[in-house]
Amino acid sequence: MWSVKADAQGVAIAGQKSRPPLLRSVYAMAGRYAIWLKEIHPLHGECAVTYIEKKYRRFLKKYKKTINAHTDDRFVRRLTMSILIAEDHQKPWYLRMGEYAAFLALKCLRKKPSMTLGVAQVRMNRMIFGKQSVTAAVRILQQYRMTYRDLPEDEALAVIARKYNHCDDYVNKVVQIYRVIAA
- Mean pLDDT estimate for the chain: 78
| 32 band by pLDDT with thresholds 50, 70 and 90 | low
CA distances from 173 to 49, 82, 152 (A): 12, 9, 19
Q: Please say if the pLDDT value at position 65 is more than 90.
A: yes
Q: Which residue has the higher pLDDT, 62 or 17?
A: 62
